[in-house]
Every structure is written in structure tokens, then in C-alpha cells.
Amino acid sequence: MTPTSAPLEDQEPVSGNGTKPTQAIKAVRRRATHSARRDLNEKELNSPGVQQMLLDELAQAEEQILELTTFRTAYYSADKEVAVLQAKGKIVVSQEIISFLTGALGGAAFGFLPTVWEKTDGSGALTLAVGVVLLAAGAIAKVVRA
């Protein structure tokens, strides 16, 4: 029997995007019975219909607990993974900043080198040494990050 020719009781409702709104239906059903009197006397509790309804509610609650337990476990696993990745991201950013700054300062020292090389006080050699050290530190920082 095709879904269009089935009786309405046999068809599951479908929303506009093609999904079945089972959660919405359960919520409506529960709200409808929510206002019912919750206190049952001994005679009502011995009724097979009431016992069946109570067992059904208990089974639904147990299913929901199992489903939510798996979601909770998955949530905590994902939460830990996000925290680890965020910590790694912070380390990578700081290493990138160090690498960039040492490379830029080393390059600036080499750019400044022709100006100070002609002086006889040894500042040219010092500038060359500082530039080499900074560029080497930048390269090492890049290698360590990778």
C-alpha cells in the first residue's frame, strides 16, 4: 500500500522538509495528559489499562535514559577534543608569532647592516651576528612547529 493510499491512522506525519516530527508528537501527547490527575487510588492502580500505561511510560523513560546517556558520553568526548585542539591552536599561534618576529628582526638587521658596516667601532659585526642569530631562531621555530 502506498503512503498516499494508506488510512490516516497508519501514516506517520511528515513535516514540510520530509522529516517525521516524532519528538513534537510525543511532547503534545505528554502535555495533553499532563493536566490529568497524578494521584491514583488502589482500585485505579489495579486496573490493567493503568498498569499498561505505567509500564509504557516506564519503558519510554528507560529508552530516553539510554539515548541521552550515549549523547552525554559523546558530548564529553567532543568537549575534551575541542579543549585539546584549542590548546594546540594557541601553541601554534604563539610559535608562528615568534617565528615571524625573529625572521623580521633578523631581516631588518641585515637591511641595516650596510649602514653600520662602515663604522670602525665593531657595530657592523655585531649587527651581522644579531641578524644571523635572529634568522636562525626564526628558522628553528618554523622547523619545531612543523
Rounded (to 5) percent helix, strand, coil in the chain = 75, 0, 25
What is the DSSP annotation of 35-75? Answer: TS-----HHHHTSHHHHHHHHHHHHHHHHHHHHHHHHHHHH
* Number of structural domains found in the chain: 1
State the Cα–Cα distance between residues 40 and 85, nearest whole angstrom: 53
Report the C-alpha gap between 8 and 1 in whole angstroms.
Answer: 12
Q: What is the pLDDT of residue 79?
A: 93
pLDDT at 18: 52
The answer as to whether 69 is a domain residue is yes
Q: Which domain holds residue 68?
A: 38-145
23 domain residue, yes or no: no
Output the nine-digit C-alpha cell for 141. Answer: 621555530
Q: What is the pLDDT along the chain (146 residues), one digit of tens a residue?
A: 444 444 444 444 444 445 454 555 555 455 555 545 567 777 877 888 888 888 898 999 999 999 899 899 999 999 999 999 888 877 777 788 888 898 899 989 888 888 888 776 778 888 889 999 998 988 888 887 66
- Please give the pLDDT value at position 45: 77
C-alpha to C-alpha distance for 30 and 24, rounded to whole angstroms:
10
